[in-house]
Amino acid sequence: MLTRRATFRAGIAALALAVTPAAFAPAALAQDGAPIKVGEINSYTRMAAFTEPYKKGWELALEEINAAGGIKGRPIEVLSRDDGGDPATAIRIADELVNRENVSLIFGTFLSNIGLAVSDFANQSQTLFIASEPLTDELIWASGNRYTYRLRPGTHMQAAMLAEQAAKTDAMTWAVIAPNYAYGTDAVEAFKRELTKLKPDVKFVEEQWPPLFNIDAGSTVRALEQSKPDGIFNVTFGGDLAKFVREGSLRGLFDDRVVVSLLSGEPEYLEPLGAEAPEGWIVTGYPGMDVDTPEHTPFAEAYQAKWGEAPKTGSIVGYNSMMTIKALLEKAPNLETETLLTTMEGLRVTAPTGDFLFRPVDNQATMGAWVGKTGIVDGAPVMVDWHYADGEDYLPSEADALKLRPENQ
Amino acid sequence: MMGFYFAQLLTGLANASSLFLIASGLSIIFGVTRVVNFAHGSLYMLGAYIAYSLVTTLPGVFGFWTGVILAAVATAFIGAAIEILILRRIYHSPELFQLVATFGVVLIVQDAALAIWGSEDLLGPRAPLLDRAVRIFGEPIPEYDLALIVIGPVVLGLIWLLFQRTRWGILVRAATQDREMVGALGVNQHVLFTSTFMVGSFLAGLGGALQVPRESVNLLMDLNIIGQAFVVVVIGGMGSVTGAFVAAVIISVANAFGVLVWPQISLILPFLVMAVVLIVRPYGLFGTPASAHGASVPEAPLRAMPPAGIAVAAIVAVGAALLPLADDGFLLVLGIDLLVAMLFAASLHLLMGVGGMVSFGHAAYFGLGAYAAALAVKSLGLPMLPAMLLGPVAAAFGAMVFGWFCVRLSGVYLAMLTLAAAQILWGITFQWQSVTGGDDGILGVWPARWASDRAVYFYIALALCGAGLLIIRRIAHSPFGYVLRGGRDSALRAEAIGIDLKAHQWLGFILAGALAGVAGSVFVFSKGSVFPDTLAIGHSVDGLIMVLLGGVQSLLGPLFGAAAFVLIEDWVMRLDHWRAIFGVIILAIVLLAPDGIAGGVGRLLTLLRLRRPA
């Protein structure tokens, strides 16, 4: 047994050496100049289309930070791992990063359930976790905890941005279509609530809940058509969205109707539709290279130079994640978790999207999103008539947010 | 209004055609080779990707249809390569072992598709000349849907001609009924099997290629279709092409009207239909009893562990107990995962290895245990230990309800009913948001304060899982275990000597479920949260792979299999392209040890003269 265990441990050690050579080499050096280790987890294989741009984003930021001398003379080292899309695996990896690799904090995750699993682990193991991409508002409200901060504008914020635009149209009867899981139901609930607040006499006449990535688009489109709504609120995405758009436009579902669609302006969702992308849908998203603010342009150009493609939503979320870590580590006097947590409260981050801060009351960043319409320019789908919606304006007030949080957090 | 329902019917029929194409290929392959081909979804995805590449290069109407056909042909050759290089070498392995190899292929194809076509969804062109909608009774119907409605029955007709009017078809039908007999009559089985696999792959590729004008081609297509394809095959009757067609129509039309009445139902509708059909007609609509099993060869009896084996087991147990001394912050985490996986795999092995009841949905009982324990803490406010007790109780109860239906079937049909049961439970946890949290799961289920130290929880896991493993060993060697094994090897003889086999199998099902529930409740406190993934098909398949990879004919098999699976996965996920590497490792094990790791170890010991040959 001894030999078996010894070989096993040697194997693991050899592996760790092979995978993260930098983790071991500088350990011999003095603390000065030794890298600051940061853990990162995401669904790189399961959700490749969304996590690839995200990874490119944080890698660009990391390169820039370390080229400029790192944080107080210490480079940042990211230990990045794939969770394969499974929450249990994500927790195992988080455990390894925190308890064996002794990282100072964890960031990342895309899928909501994995974000929640890691957030719960962070709470238990008293480690700071910056949830980059998950949209579920459970993370910051009902299941929020003091160790978890969330960067991207969540379901409620994005739905509120769209409800504001939807209220300006004269559509009175609405049909909704959303994937049949927590994200879909939360988004529909938020949209209904916000739109009814702005326009109390709207009516919701039809709901369709196709299974995620298995939509029977033809039948669903016809069920929506049957209810003859003035407006349609769509939450489907990815492959489902493509099918829905194809079947819907063939059957004339979108003719003379207001369509409001969550996230569909993000290049990850819009670009695959190509010339078939619907025009005039009201969406949240990211106009990419078209954003020409002084903060954004250098980022977009550097991104294009490094990766040979325009940045996507994931890119900017990844980049902003790393900028958050930079701001945090520069400001924090040491790497103790308690110090990091105090520093995170109200932390102001300079980023391509413009400055944002992390609200102390619910740990949500005030980073916003772009709201506009879909259009086709030169045969390629883009966002038109867009504006940047600052996240702060779409969050509940601090007093209301406090009521949403569990006690003693 | 009439027009509306007619249009909805046409939409359902168009979907039925696409579903039929992929399911018919799966059914033909199973009928002849008895391979439960998980890679069929991968072939479908490859067909779609290849067709995308071709139709975006070749111009016009001619180019489109040529591209579709060429894509199907290319997929057929990929299928042939899989059959010749891998499956052909393992046809003599225990029943279902080939499934492990196809699982390896799935992993490799996923990484290959990502490397070749990139991660972004690809939206191909619409079919030329069929890119608009026509009005029927005033309702717009896409022309391409009408084309599909024609293509489905045409393909069915061609397959019928091929089966009824050619010598090859006669041989295939004969092999579907009794492949040993066909072999004994001097038919070249190699050629027959390879050509069957090619025809099946061709149909999968055709199904994928014909989807290009309807949806974007993406990397999730393989796993999204495979569940439904199996459902259609089973409802129709394994090996029956006509059955697959009828089943595809039933499922698709039911769904087209189902979404009008109860939109949430599409999540579990196919599985509900399958469960009902299997309960009423145990071999599917067009299946026969012969289609349930391959030839069953009685297994060698279990042997008592020799003294040397007991010594090794004792040393392993002591070594495991000393593991906390060597902890580096992560070793114990891995240790707990390993124990959970071992008990989960061993409980599944009790069901399929000892009891001869293959389950494709064993994760349901693991998940029930995990959810029950989590809910006991969160809703009832129970402390950790009573909550952990509630896990297996709930799992046993679930197994009691579903097992009662399942043990009435046998072979692959039993396996598919367990899958349907698991999917229905999964659908409930997924949708019953107010109780289970839906996809957001249940959080904050951590060990009690006294057990919050990792080492303490490791000992709890070691004690519970170790006890579970010992109980399983005891059951296998008890008179009750003899009855199960006897029933597995010959149900007829067991019944003839007066044994109520169904009752014993039902009890075995409940025991296996309860033990999986123990694993589930140990699992939930080690992770702190539980999500519907624990009950999903993927997790059931993981268990199945562990058992088969380890060797289904040995009690130690699932332990080897679980250890190999967990340790290799933990290691390989650190690498780029880990899915391809994992797939290659699995294929290597499969080819080197066609009777599983336990069988391979046994042969190695015999070779080293440490054990007398069996």
Domains in chain A, start-ordered, CATH in brackets?
A: 2-153+293-368 (3.40.50.2300), 156-287+369-394 (3.40.50.2300)
CA dist., res. B420 & res. B388, Å (int): 26
CA gyration radius for chain A?
22
Residue entry with tokens 């999540």: B267
| B48 and B134 in a common domain | yes
| B148 and B91 in a common domain | yes
The last residue of one of the domains, among B498, B513, B535, is: B535
A59: closest CA of chain B, how far (Å): 16
| B550 and B529 in a common domain | no
CA dist., res. B184 & res. B30, Å (int): 20
| B556 and B585 in a common domain | yes
What SS3 class is residue A36? Answer: strand
Largest CA distance in chain A: 75
Residue ranges of E strands in B467-612: none
Q: Using a CB cutoff of 8 Å and minimum separation of 24, what contacts does A100-104 make? A: A100/B328, A100/B329, A100/B330, A101/A20, A101/A23, A101/A37, A101/A39, A102/A37, A102/B329, A103/A37, A103/A38, A103/A39, A103/A79, A104/A36, A104/A37, A104/A38, A104/A128, A104/A329, A104/A335, A104/A337, A104/A340
What average pLDDT does this structure show over A145-153? 95
Q: What per-residue confidence (pLDDT) applies to A213?
A: 85
| B541 and B527 in a common domain | no
Lowest mean pLDDT among A325-334, A347-356, B408-417, B510-519: B408-417
Contacts of B328 in chain A (CB under 8 A): 9, 100
Across the interface, whether the CB atoms of B266 and A276 are under 8 A apart is answered no
Q: What percent of chain A has pLDDT over 90?
A: 80
State the alpha helices, DSSP H only, in A81-216: 87-99, 112-125, 155-168, 182-198
CA dist., res. A288 & res. A104, Å (int): 32
| B558 and B526 in a common domain | no
Q: What percent of chain B has pLDDT over 70?
A: 98
CB atoms near residue B334 (< 10 Å): 18
| B177 and B52 in a common domain | yes
Across the interface, whether the CB atoms of B259 and A87 are under 8 A apart is answered no
Residues of chain A numbered 195-214 and touching chain B (CB < 8 Å): 207-211, 213-214
First to last CA, chain B: 72
Flag whether residue A310 sits within 8 Å of chain B, measured between CB atoms: no
Flag whether residue A189 sits within 8 Å of chain B, measured between CB atoms: no
Q: Per-residue pLDDT for A15 more than 60?
A: no
**Closest CB from B333, B527, B528 relative to A96:** B333
3-state helix, strand, coil in chain A (%, to 5): 45, 20, 35
Q: Per-residue pLDDT for A339 more than 90?
A: yes
**Low-confidence residues of chain B, pLDDT below 50?**
none
State the alpha helices, DSSP H only, in B212-356: 221-236, 241-261, 269-280, 307-321, 331-349
> Per the domain annotation, does B252 fall within a domain?
no
Q: What six digits make up the tokens of B483?
A: 């009855």
Q: What per-residue confidence (pLDDT) applies to B291?
A: 59
State the alpha helices, DSSP H only, in A169-295: 182-198, 217-226, 238-250, 267-270
Contacts of A52 in chain B (CB under 8 A): 119
What SS3 class is residue B299? Answer: coil
B311: closest CA of chain A, how far (Å): 11
Nearest to B311, CA basis, from A7, A3, A1, A5 = A1
B112-147 b/e (C-beta count within 10 Å ≥ 16 → b): bbbeebebbbbbbbbbeebeebeeeeebbbbbbbbb
A79 phi/psi in degrees, rounded to 5: -95, 105
Say which residue, A20 or A398, is predicted with more confidence. Answer: A398
- The contacts of residue B301 (CB under 8 Å, 6+ apart) are B485
Across the interface, whether the CB atoms of B266 and A207 are under 8 A apart is answered no
The single-letter DSSP state of residue B305 is P
> Per the domain annotation, does B264 fall within a domain?
no
What average pLDDT does this structure show over A267-279? 91
CB atoms near residue B368 (< 10 Å): 30
| B571 and B518 in a common domain | no
Residue ranges of E strands in B564-612: none
First to last CA, chain A: 46
Across the interface, whether the CB atoms of A100 and B316 are under 8 A apart is answered no
Across the interface, whether the CB atoms of B216 and A82 are under 8 A apart is answered no
**Closest CB from A2, A11, A210 relative to B266:** A210
Q: What six digits make up the tokens of A154?
A: 């969540």
Domain range for residue B482? Answer: 342-535
3-state helix, strand, coil in chain B (%, to 5): 75, 0, 25
Distance of CA B435 to the CA centre of its chain: 28
Q: Are A228 and A203 in contact (CB under 8 A)?
A: no
What average pLDDT does this structure show over A190-216? 92
- The contacts of residue B225 (CB under 8 Å, 6+ apart) are B22, B41, B44, B45
Q: Are A235 and A262 in contact (CB under 8 A)?
A: yes
In which band, very low, low, confident or very high, does the pLDDT at A25 lie, cut at 50, 70 and 90?
A: very low
CA dist., res. B363 & res. B361, Å (int): 5
**Closest CB from B140, B228, B337 relative to A92:** B337
CA dist., res. A372 & res. A282, Å (int): 6
CA dist., res. A380 & res. B270, Å (int): 38
**Closest CB from A100, A183, A271 relative to B328:** A100
CA distances in angstroms from B19 to A226, B199, B268, listed in the order given: 25, 16, 16
With CA atoms as reference, the chain B residue closest to A81 would be B574
| B100 and B212 in a common domain | yes
Across the interface, whether the CB atoms of B114 and A48 are under 8 A apart is answered yes
Q: What six digits make up the tokens of A304?
A: 């294009």
The last residue of one of the domains, among B199, B218, B237, is: B218
Across the interface, whether the CB atoms of A226 and B440 are under 8 A apart is answered no
| B446 and B485 in a common domain | yes
Number of domains observed in the structure of chain B: 3
The last residue of one of the domains, among B509, B535, B561, is: B535
Largest CA distance in chain B: 81
Nearest to B75, CA basis, from B197, B215, B212 = B197
What SS3 class is residue B166? Answer: coil
Q: What per-residue confidence (pLDDT) applies to B292?
A: 59
Flag whether residue A15 sits within 8 Å of chain B, measured between CB atoms: yes
A5: closest CA of chain B, how far (Å): 8
- The contacts of residue B456 (CB under 8 Å, 6+ apart) are B447, B450
B505-522 b/e (C-beta count within 10 Å ≥ 16 → b): bbbbbbbbbbbbbbbbbb
| B541 and B516 in a common domain | no
Q: Are B530 and B370 in contact (CB under 8 A)?
A: yes
CA dist., res. B128 & res. B38, Å (int): 33
Determine which of A180, A213, A268 to mutate to test the interface with B (most B C-beta atoms within 10 Å).
Answer: A180
> Per the domain annotation, does B285 fall within a domain?
no
Q: Are B6 and B146 in contact (CB under 8 A)?
A: no
ipTM (interface predicted TM):
0.89
Beta bridge partners of A314: none
CA dist., res. B279 & res. B260, Å (int): 27
HSE at residue B553, side-chain half, CA atoms within 13 A, is: 20
Q: What six digits make up the tokens of B13?
A: 């029929």
Across the interface, whether the CB atoms of A87 and B120 are under 8 A apart is answered no
CA dist., res. A394 & res. A194, Å (int): 10
| B185 and B69 in a common domain | yes
Length of chain B: 614
Q: Per-residue pLDDT for A23 more than 80?
A: no
> Per the domain annotation, does B315 fall within a domain?
no
Determine which of B267, B440, B458 to mutate to test the interface with A (most A C-beta atoms within 10 Å).
Answer: B440
